[in-house]
Amino acid sequence: MDAITALTERVSVAQLTGPGPSQQQLEQLYTAAFRAPDHAWMRPWRYLTIRGEGLSTLGDVFVEAALKKNTDLAEDKIAKLRKKPQRAPLMIVAIANIQEHAKVPAVEQRLAVGAGIQNILIAAYAMGLGAIWRTGEIVNDEHVRGALGLKESEEILGFIYLGHVNCKLKKPPVLALEDYVQEWPLNA
């Protein structure tokens, strides 16, 4: 698949099945992530690969985090939380390692990691894999952060679920350029 097709036709895929990406595919996905724009070559990213039993363990961590906030959590909600990581055969946790730098503010470092995530999504689509980037309040949960071994300077920017497509792909919407693009200076 050519790059323009991958960029313009990629869609998020919520229904994923096994097998997960091969080791070669996974290495290509990370290589694509490392090509994200990175002012001052700070490499503000770190990725955790979670699969197999690790997905079950992460589900337990999600439940523990929720129970710390609400000890009366209903059993169906507990079961749903426990299964969240298992919505795909492989998950990547994208982490921004925010560092002090005179010319590269924290927002640029977060954007670099976000661009790396987007590169993973596009590369996965180009390889015939499905992927979706998920966040939610769980990315800021201290229990989850601790269980995943994050340092004080690190932030979870998302959970990337990867696998093979197990549904009909949505058609990407066609957006009119004039709705989102303007020449500047604007004519009064």
Domains of the chain plus CATH, in order, are 3-179 (3.40.109.10)
* Nearest C-alpha neighbor of 57 from the set 163, 147, 162: 147
Predicted TM-score (pTM) of this structure: 0.95
Q: Are 37 and 187 in contact (CB under 8 A)?
A: no
Confidence class of residue 187 from pLDDT cuts 50, 70 and 90?
confident
pLDDT one-digit tens code per residue, 36-87: 999 999 999 999 999 999 999 999 999 999 999 999 999 999 999 999 999 9
Q: How many residues are recorded in the chain? A: 188
Structure tokens at 113: 């990691």
What is the 8-class DSSP label of residue 128?
T
DSSP-assigned beta bridge partners for residue 56: none
Residue 96 contacts residue 44 (beta carbons within 8 Å): yes
Measured over the CA atoms of residue 147, residue 137, residue 19 and residue 123, the dihedral's sign is: negative
Give pLDDT tens digits for 121-172. 999 999 999 999 999 999 999 999 999 999 999 999 999 999 999 999 999 9
CA distance 151 to 154: 5
